[in-house]
Amino acid sequence: MLAKWFSWGLVAFAPSALALTGPQTVFDALSAILLPSSEVVLVSDDTYQKDFTPRYNLAEAPAYIVGVRPAVAEDVVKVVTYARDSNISILTTGRGHGYTTSLARVQGAINMDLGKFNSIHVDAEAKTMTVGGAVNGYQVTAALQEAGFEIVSTATPQCPCIGFAGASLGGGIGPYSGLYGPISDSLLSVDIVTADGRLLTVSETESPDLFDGIKGAGFNFGVVTSLTFQAYPATNSGHAMNVDITFLSSQNESVWKAVEQLAASQPKELAFGLSVMHSPDPSMEGLLISANFIYAGPRSEGEALLKPFLDLRPQNVNISTVAWKDIPDVANGGAIAKYGCTPGKYYIPYSLNLYQVDVPNLVDVVNYMSQAMGADPVLQGTSIVWQQYAQHGFQLRADDTSTFPYRDAKAFVQIDSLAADASQAPALDKFGREVRDLLQRGSGKDQLDVYVHFAHGDEGPASWYTAERLPKLVSLKEKYDPTGMFSWYNPVILANPSYQNL
């Protein structure tokens, strides 16, 4: 049953066919082969809604017939083997935050929820951390802080509830990337169930080719149940300066000039983000620019670095020093921790990487947003979110040591749109693409580059992984997932996939 096609370049994927085997048959078969401690539930059962991880985004959602919560890795092997042999689609979820439109191709599938893989072990002597596939960013920061360590974490200050494993498999970026690079650079080993039902431990010495592919495109090769990372002694005694500042939209040229100035000499301890969004407050001129700075060092040094922004006489300034794990509770007034983890949003994402700070282009984009939002209130649900990390951490590893491709990006930019309901989606979708296209003109590159976890889904593998990396990734795909079982989330595309649901 092929409803529509998703096309990237000259290659097209059809959505997965509805399972030829009925839901009850799948339920009975899995219940018979899995341990009693594992959970199998029909999606139509109220227990599924109560016990299984809810999806963050309602738009372009996958559709399931059965939910499975394996208790041990051996049961993951059994689920993967059963799905493969029965020609039933399978999608693994950790925290439910994958919002790319490519997931809409998943229909009539098994939802393998890794909620029971929720352990965290910090080995202080070895300076390592091992986590299960469903641990979230906030749990990681809390456990490491208690032990006197840190790592790049999506919990500071982005969404603290997203899955740490899932973030790592796409590279994983966060404010401490300036110190350590993407999260995947800290990976030491991974336990993964591949499409042929093998449970492998991969590292730099065991299946090193797969290990490199996992570090940036890991969701293409199997189900990751456990990950071990290098942990680092806490910087600045485990504390950071957090600064929240707001500006009027009329100040946007001055703000972008300050960003340009800071980008040229950004120290590794400093990360910052900007949000351009609608404001209902008439005194804010329709739009406001909210800036958040995190400095892993003394407050006096941080304030000196931010002088170009503080000299602009912003509307509001809030400076505090907090424990690293508590940054989500204070950054941006704690808005993301309070509201960003609520499931059931109708979310329309677009994104791109920028390789320069093109001030005139950015001014034009903000002015365009202001005019468009003033003319159509539906568009007021869109914001630009700019994340900028120091280059130091990204340059610690050679470019060919992992699949994560964008070590030279100046900023990772999201165009976030929240719709009140599905009726607003077409207008917000069109507006998101328009803003992305405008920003692309000043990106510093001809081609569209997109961090894979921020992707809309229409960009294609060359944008997610770069054209240079694709041949190697396709070879890995042919070796470890030749039937294309794991080809739902912004996938590497096989030249001739044999999996019948593709």
Report domain extents, the chain: 6-114, 120-235, 238-461
- Confidence at residue 126, expressed as pLDDT on a 0 to 100 scale: 98
Q: Say whether pTM exceeds 0.85.
A: yes
Q: Dihedral angle at the C-alpha atoms of 130, 222, 3, 343, nearest 10 degrees? A: -10
Nearest to 136 by CA among 116, 166, 111, 112: 166
- Confidence at residue 99, expressed as pLDDT on a 0 to 100 scale: 83
Orientation angle between helical segments 425-441 and 359-375, nearest 10 degrees: 160
432 and 348 Cβ atoms separated by less than 8 Å? yes
Class of domain 6-114: alpha beta
Tokens of 154: 């999506």
Identify the architecture of domain 238-461 in CATH: 3-Layer(aba) Sandwich (3.40)
Q: What is the DSSP secondary structure assignment for residue 418, as one 8-state letter?
A: E
Q: Along the 502 residues of the chain, how does pLDDT read in single tens digits? A: 223 333 343 333 333 444 457 899 999 999 999 999 999 999 999 999 888 888 888 888 899 999 999 999 999 999 999 999 999 999 999 887 888 999 999 999 999 999 999 999 999 999 999 999 999 988 999 999 999 999 997 644 457 778 999 999 999 999 899 999 999 999 999 999 999 999 999 999 999 999 999 999 999 999 999 999 999 999 999 999 999 999 999 999 999 999 999 988 999 999 999 999 999 887 777 899 999 999 999 999 999 999 999 999 999 999 999 998 888 888 887 777 676 677 778 889 999 999 999 999 999 999 999 999 999 999 999 999 999 999 999 999 999 889 999 999 999 999 999 998 889 999 999 999 999 999 999 999 999 999 999 999 999 999 999 999 999 999 999 999 999 999 999 999 866 555 434 3
- Confidence at residue 16, expressed as pLDDT on a 0 to 100 scale: 42
- Confidence at residue 295, expressed as pLDDT on a 0 to 100 scale: 96
E strand or H helix that includes residue 24: helix 23-33
Class of domain 120-235: alpha beta
H helices of 39-113, in order, are 46-51, 73-86
